[in-house]
Amino acid sequence: MIETGGLIRSLSGRRAARNFHNFVINEIGHAIVTGTFPIGSVLASDAVMMERYGVSRTVLREALKTLEAKGLVEARPKVGTRVSPRSRWNFFDPQVLTWHFDAAPDAELYDSLFRVREALEGPMILLATRHRTAEHVRLLKYWCHQMETAGDSVEQYGLACLEVHGVIAESSRDPLLRSILGVVELTLALALTRDRAMSAEAYRKEASATFIALTAAIEGGRAEEAASLYEAIRRLDRRQAV
- What is the DSSP secondary-structure string of the chain? -PPTTHHHHHTTT--PPP-HHHHHHHHHHHHHHTTSS-TTPBPPPHHHHHHHHT--HHHHHHHHHHHHHTTSEEEETTTEEEEPPGGGS-TTSHHHHHHGGGSPP-HHHHHHHHHHHHHHHHHHHHHHHHH--HHHHHHHHHHHHHHHT-TT-HHHHHHHHHHHHHHHHHHTT-GGGGGGHHHHHHHHHHHHT--SSS-HHHHHHHHHHHHHHHHHHHHTT-HHHHHHHHHHHHHHHHHHH-
User: Looking at the structure, do residues 115 and 230 belong to the same domain, yes or no?
Assistant: yes
Is 61 domain-assigned? yes
List pLDDT tens digits, range 3-14. Answer: 679 999 998 776
Domain interval for residue 168: 105-241
Residue 45's pLDDT band, with cuts at 50, 70 and 90, is very high
pLDDT digits (tens, 9 = 90+) for 170-197: 999 998 888 899 999 999 999 999 888 8
- Record the pTM: 0.91
- Indicate whether 202 belongs to any domain: yes
Do 65 and 153 belong together in one domain? Answer: no
Residue 1: which pLDDT band, with cuts at 50, 70 and 90? very low
Q: Based on the fold, state whether residues 62 and 112 are members of the same structural domain.
A: no
Instruction: Please indicate, yes or no, whether residues 47 and 82 belong to a single structural domain of this protein.
Output: yes
> For residue 135, is it within any domain?
yes
